[in-house]
Homo-oligomer: A and B are copies of this chain.
Amino acid sequence: MTRTLERRSGEVDPGLASQLRLSIRRLSRRLAIERDPRESLPVNAVAVLGLLHRRGEVALSELSAHERVQPPTMTRIVRCLEDADCVVRRPSPSDGRVTLVSLSPRGRDRLLLHRQLGDAWLSQRLAELAPEERDLLSRAAELLEALSHRD
């Protein structure tokens, strides 16, 4: 490590938030544009499949909290997944108000397919970077994910 040029705590570069915010927004937009037209499911629906894959059976309210959408929006997403036979839904045995959602075998297949299609454009761009740059982005991705969940 070279001599540090870092600011003391509290003295944060005022341009960083702007720069990061705009670059996040722009890449998010670009990713939406470069989405493969064969991807039949909405991005958010694929994200839900991913969550179900990791966590098993999850209550709808938990899905909506995790994806940070309102309950009616999650109802819509889950219905879309149900129509595509990607999830199954059942009332909680312990609380009849709760709807438990879980991945179907077909949903698992679709998740893998969509990941492949969805990652294609970005994978290609990442492959053109230097290995150090990919390492940097890998660590950055963890930080960004954590930031998203901060209160």
* A-to-B contact residues, CB < 8 Å: 4, 6-7, 9-10, 12-14, 16-31, 33, 43, 47, 50, 68, 115, 118-119, 122-123, 125-129, 131-145, 147-148, 150
Contacts and interface: CB of A to CB of B under 8 A. Distances in A.
Copies of this chain = 2
B27 A43 contact: no
27 contacts: A6-B131, A6-B132, A6-B134, A6-B135, A9-B127, A9-B131, A12-B127, A12-B134, A13-B138, A14-B123, A16-B126, A16-B134, A18-B115, A19-B142, A20-B137, A21-B122, A22-B145, A24-B27, A25-B28, A26-B145, A27-B144, A28-B28, A129-B143, A136-B136, A136-B139, A137-B140, A137-B144
Contacts of A22: 47, 50, 145
